Chain A
Amino acid sequence: MTSTIEAPRSPRTPKGPYGRSTKKSGVNWEKWGWIYMRVSGVVLVVLIFGHLFVNLMIGEGVSALNFAFVAGKLTNPFWMVWDIIMLWLALIHGGNGMRTLVNDYATSRISRGILKVAILVSVVALIVLGTLVVFTFDPCPAGAPADLVASFCKSL
Chain B
Amino acid sequence: MSTTTIDNKPVVPEEIKSFTVTLIIRRFNPEVDDEPHWQDFDVQLYPTDRVLDALHKIKWEQDGSLTFRRSCAHGICGSDAMRINGRNRLACKTLMKDLDVTKPIYVEAIKGLPLEKDLIVDMEPFFDSFRAVQPFLMNSVTPVKGKERIQTVAQRARFDDTTKCILCAACTSSCPVFWTDGQYFGPAAIVNAHRFIFDSRDENAAVRLDILNDKEGVWRCRTTFNCTDACPRGIQVTQAIAEVKQAIMRGKA
A residues neighboring B (CB under 8 Å): 1-2, 4-10, 12-13, 17-21, 24, 28, 30-31, 33-35, 103-105
Contact = CB atoms under 8 A, between A and B. Distances in A.
Given A1-B86, A20-B216, A9 B248 contact: no
A105 B217 contact: no
B182 A10 contact: yes
Given A17-B132, A30-B214, A30-B215, A5 B179 contact: yes
B151 interface: no
Interface residues of B, number: 32
Contacts of B112: 5-8
Contacts of A105: 180
Contact of B182 (A1, A8, A24): A8
B183 interface: yes
Contact of A6 (B106, B114, B217): B114
Given A30-B217, A31-B219, 18 more contacts: A1-B86, A2-B38, A5-B179, A6-B111, A8-B113, A8-B125, A8-B182, A9-B179, A9-B180, A9-B182, A10-B181, A10-B182, A12-B183, A18-B132, A19-B128, A30-B215, A31-B248, A31-B249
A31 B86 CA distance: 33
Nearest to B113: A7
A4 B219 CA distance: 26
11 contacts: A7-B112, A7-B114, A7-B182, A18-B131, A19-B125, A19-B128, A30-B213, A30-B219, A103-B215, A104-B177, A104-B181
Nearest to B36: A4
A20 B132 contact: yes
A102 B131 CA distance: 27
B178 to A, nearest CB: 7
Contacts of B106: 1
A155 to B, nearest CB: 54
B129 interface: yes
Contacts of A1: 85-86, 106
B115 interface: yes
In the complex, the 10 A-B pairs of residues with the closest C-beta atoms, listed nearest first: A8-B182, A18-B132, A30-B219, A7-B114, A34-B219, A5-B179, A18-B128, A104-B180, A10-B181, A5-B111
Contacts of B132: 17-18, 20
B207 to A, nearest CB: 12
Contacts of A104: 177, 180-181
